[in-house]
Structure 1
Amino acid sequence: MTTFGTGNASQTLRMKQLNTLIWSMSIIRAANSTHSSVIWPDVPIHATECALFYCINKYHNVVQNGDLIQEITPVESLRSPLSWQPENDIGVAISDPTRASSIEFDDYYSYYTRSDLHLVSSETGHAFNISQNAVNGISSYFQQNFATDTTNFPLNDSDSDIDDAGQLNGAYFTLGSELSIPGVLQVFFNSENLSSTFAGLATSMSNTLRDFADDIESDGIGKMQTGKTQVVAVLYTIQWPWITIHGVVIAAGWVFLVTTIRINQRYGQGREAFKSNALAVLSRGSIVYHTIGKTQSMSQMERIARNTEVCLFPKTPTGSQLEPGEFGPS
């Protein structure tokens, strides 16, 4: 893979209209081949040119159900003709017009003071300034990390005209071992989609600029946005009258049970056994035959039994219970 990176739009192939160019890279990459018989130059190659440039975006933020949703819309921006103007005799010193208008960092020409880079939104007319220090610093960073010394060479053996020469300032190749000059190009070579890689790089740069731009206003107060966070909570309302009804029923049941036990323990024989069915009477068999013997159906038998009083375990005058097999009066 060979590359040529530049911050001067006039040296690009299809980015010459970008007058806010930060960095452009022309990349020629050989496609990975699984066939060992493929020999250079019979290898498919792909050419790509990607660019980073200053622009204006419109950000619309909405919080929905606690999630921050951000919509980013590019806005057509124009570089003001009055921006990036020399504030001294740099106009006389620079003979190349493309160099005079370019925002690319130069070891010599960037020494001269310029006005801010001035971008204007064609949609709203809002203006945004980027200082010369910021422009030079970002451009210099890309030169140092995305390119090495430029190599010029003729396009063919008979061509020696420097204007028609090729230029390279980066390469990645393998000759027994991998070699990447500069090292960042290994990421580009391994990238499956160079356009997505540059888009991710541009997004990270935009996020960084937004994080640290305009932290302090002119009055020294930071631009802090405050808001409210809502948390959904489930609340229960206790209806005490309904709970009281259940408590009264439970308490009454306990009173009824305790009273029944105490009465039967105290009076013993001749007291009615509280019952919910006829089993207490029917368990006496022949003793109660004269009471239920004339019935002809189970329902009649149960009806008569419910109205009959029995004492299952009557006490003797001495207080002891009857022996098994003995029955008291019914």
Structure 2
Amino acid sequence: MDERPVTTSANDSVATLQPLLETQPTSSASSPLAPTEKPDTASKKQSKTSWEADIQMDQNSYLPEHSCLHLGWNIKSLPGICYQHPLVDFDRFDAASRGAWGSLRLLQSCVRRPRWIAIGALTAIALLTFEPFTQAVLAIRDKEVILDHREYNKVVQSSNGSLETHGNVPTIGRSTRLDGASWTGAFAGEDMGMKAAMWNGFSPFTARQNLKPAFACATGNCTWANFTSIAVCSKCRDISGYVTKSSGPVKLPSGVQAAGPYHQSWVLGHGETLPDVSNPSPYFDWANGRNFTFLKHEIPELNISISNYNGSRHCRDLSQQCPDTYLSARVTTNPGQTLTFGNLSTIVMAIQYLVSNETWLDDKTTWEDTNVGARECALSLCVNEYHDVLSQGVLQEAVASSWTDREPGSYTNDDKNVKAFIKYTNHSLDMGILLVDLSDLQIKILDRDYKRQASALRKQYFNITQTTIIALQNVLSDGFGGIRDLKSPYRDYVDGISKKLLYPALEMNQSTAGFLSGLGRSSDIPATLDNVALSLTKWIRDRELEVSPMVGNATSMVIVTRLRWNYLWFPGASLITGMMFAVLCMWETQKLKKPALKDSILATLACAPDEDLRLCLKQAAATEILQDVGRKLEVRWEEDGEFGQLKEKKDNQPTV
């Protein structure tokens, strides 16, 4: 309880007694002021008051507030019951009736003179933590529960009736046998979904989050057990260690001729050669009319290179005729023509490329100071193990395992000549222009993996038809400008399964459209090829959504309220202690047969100090030494009729 200054009236006839002390009082001492004449006083009876209170409050705060009120009344009634100590204790009793801070001050007196009254003060302080403990008793959390078939049907009927076509169960696409094309005469017909998926993957505007498979889940929260499905995988490896560099001056040929309306070519004189750059088109070089130097990056094993004139790039935009080359690539369908994927027997297409760094395209470096990246990437058929969780309508999918092992006895023919040809092609899936019926390609999950996860994997062999593979390779061939030429049946097999490409290829009689344009415009070619694999995988799985989907479980979030009993011991102990204290107060009040002076200032005035003590305090307040007097002055309760009065205790008076 805060101490406030003492105030006096104008004629100094009345002094207001305020809370006195915040420190522990000293031993008893008589008043330093001379006592004055004692007037006659009379006391009046005070009616007994009720111990009950009817208060309506919030459920969480009712108990601590109600307990504090009872404790305050009980503590305030105690001075009139058992008071015969230093006057400052009276002030502390009064402060304790107003809250925890006053109770803490009362404990100072109880430490000096231990009494059971300390129970009430301690309980009043403890009640400060009563409400936080009671609020922590109830723990509320979300819990995910699985809906049974009947509950899920109700959700389907109330949200989207079209989901009934999937059997009223949560489903997601998967494929265990891929048959994505059929024979049309002697050729494999193309699936439009396959072709669209391929172009969508190479597009620089395709976002990865748009390449997730289709699913059906009415609640927006579903889970599926791990499952396997046929997919297309993408891998890229660095081949910078195979790159060699060369440089030198360039002497331009002396003649140029028009080869078409928008095409020119060099006319080589005696001893003249084409410029040793990737794009030796004469239009820009002849217009500049001067010699150049070049720097060439080359991979001899693959016969690909990228070479530009030294200095800054010359192309300001692709509408100009200029010799700059950003990307040099080679595509092949034969694993034997790769540097790092020779053992990948399910390869559909490999792309080997040299690409200039963006610093040269942004005019931040010259060509001789520009880094050139070299990578080899492969698109292959595979089997993936997926872990799928749908949360609030957002599908989170992760690949737990992946297999690309081809079953040796698959994708073959009993004819010995066919088997010899397959061996000659490094067991490539591309048979070139040789059209012969082959068995399905089988991808096998390794025995050790299947035995370890047989309950989850369920299937070890996955089939892909020959027509599907031919259609895939035809779409890739067309997208890269025609790798194989079915109109030239006598073309060498090796020449028919690979092709070198440049981007941009202005004046090179090569189209810059198609898949190469997507790679040339990409700032991250491996990421673009990942998109191609994901887009094809989405097509594979979506087409099987209604035929052989993976069935999952629909979940719903419910609110669970749990009672934490360990948070109840403290409120319970505080409540019981407070009740015990109230009972003790009532019992002692009844035992002393005196009225409880608890909630009325009028009752306190009826038992005011005697005249000597009152004048002593009045003079102390006038001279601003009231607190010092309160610390030194000891008083006692003397009976006066039915009530009694506070009087200064003299040294020769015995303690009651």
Question: What TM-score, normalized by structure 2, do the two folds share?
Answer: 0.29
Does the 8 Å contact 1:87/1:115 carry over to 2?
Answer: no
Deviations 1:22-66 (A, max 9, x none): 111111223342449946x77543222111001111012234455
Aligned position for 1:137: 471
The residue type equivalent to 1:113 in the other structure is D
- Structure 1 residue 195 displacement after superposition: 1.0
Cα 1:75/1:37, change in 2 over 3 Å: closer
Structure-1 separation of matches of 2:499 and 2:508: 21
Distance 1:74 1:178, change over 3 A: farther
The amino acid that maps onto 1:116 is: D
CA–CA separation in structure 1 for the residues paired with 2:388 and 2:342: 34
Q: Please name the residue that 1:103 is paired with.
A: 429
Structure 2 Cα separation of the partners of residues 96 and 72 of structure 1: 32
Give the match's secondary structure for 1:23: strand
Relative to structure 1, the CA distance from residue 23 to residue 177 in structure 2 (aligned partners, 3 Å threshold; closer, same or farther) is closer
Cα 1:106/1:179, change in 2 over 3 Å = closer
Matched residue type, 1:5: V
Larger RCO, structure (CA 8 Å, separation 6 or more): 2
**Is this contact kept in 1: 2:441–2:465, CA < 8 A?**
yes
> Where does the alignment leave 5 or more consecutive residues of structure 1 unmatched?
151-162, 217-221, 234-330
The aligned counterpart of 2:401 is 74
| CA displacement 1:224-274 (0-9 Å, x = unmatched) | 7475464779xxxxxxxxxxxxxxxxxxxxxxxxxxxxxxxxxxxxxxxxx
CA distance in 2, matches of 1:43, 1:207: 38
Letter in 2 for 1:114: L
Q: Which residue of 2 aligns with 1:205?
A: 536
Deviations 1:133-188 (A, max 9, x none): 111111121111124458xxxxxxxxxxxx9xxx7432212659997445321221
Rounded to whole Å, the distance in 2 between the matches of 1:138 and 1:128 is 17
Q: What secondary structure is seen at the aligned counterpart in 2 of 1:101?
A: coil
**TM-score, scaled to structure 1:** 0.54
Q: How does 1:1-330 map to 2 (within 5 A)?
A: 1-32=327-358, 33=360, 34-35=362-363, 38=366, 44-64=371-391, 67-88=394-415, 90-91=417-418, 95=421, 97-99=423-425, 101-107=427-433, 109=434, 111-122=435-446, 123-124=449-450, 126-148=460-482, 168-173=499-504, 175=506, 180-213=511-544, 215-216=546-547, 223=549, 225=551, 228=554, 230=556
Residue 247 (structure 1) aligns with: none
Tell me, in whole angstroms, the C-alpha distance in 1 between the residues paired with 2:542 and 2:382.
17
Residue 130 of structure 1 aligns with an amino acid whose one-letter code is I
1:26 to 1:231, Cα distance in 2 relative to 1, 3 A: same
SS of corresponding position for 1:55? strand
2-structure distance, mates of 1:124, 1:71? 19
Query: For residue 322 of structure 1, what is the aligned residue in structure 2?
Result: none
Which residue identity is paired with 2:528? T
Contact 1:171/1:182 (CA < 8 Å) preserved in 2?
no
Given residue 22 of structure 1, which amino acid in structure 2 is its aligned partner?
V
CA contact (8 A) 2:328 2:502 kept: yes
Greater alpha carbon shift after TM alignment, 183-192 vs 200-209: 183-192
The SS at the match of 2:424 is helix
Give yes or no for contact 2:503–2:520 (8 Å, CA) kept in 1: yes
Is this contact kept in 2: 1:2–1:171, CA < 8 A? Answer: yes
CA contact (8 A) 1:84 1:101 kept: no
Once residues 184 and 58 of structure 1 are traced to their aligned partners in structure 2, the CA distance between those partners, rounded to angstroms, is 29
Cα 1:105/1:169, change in 2 over 3 Å = farther
Q: State the 1:11 CA deviation.
A: 1.1
8 Å CA contact 1:88–1:113 kept in 2: the answer is no
Contact 1:56 1:77 in 2 (8 A): yes
For 2:380, the aligned partner's letter is F
Q: Which amino acid aligns with 1:73?
A: A
**Mapped partners of 2:502, 2:544: distance in 1:** 35
| 1: CA distance, partners of 2:393 / 2:443 | 34
Q: CA RMSD in A?
A: 3.4
- CA 131–148 in structure 1, closer or farther in 2 if over 3 Å, else same: closer
User: Using a 3 Å threshold, how does the CA distance of structure 1 residues 197 and 113 change in structure 2: closer, same or farther?
Assistant: same
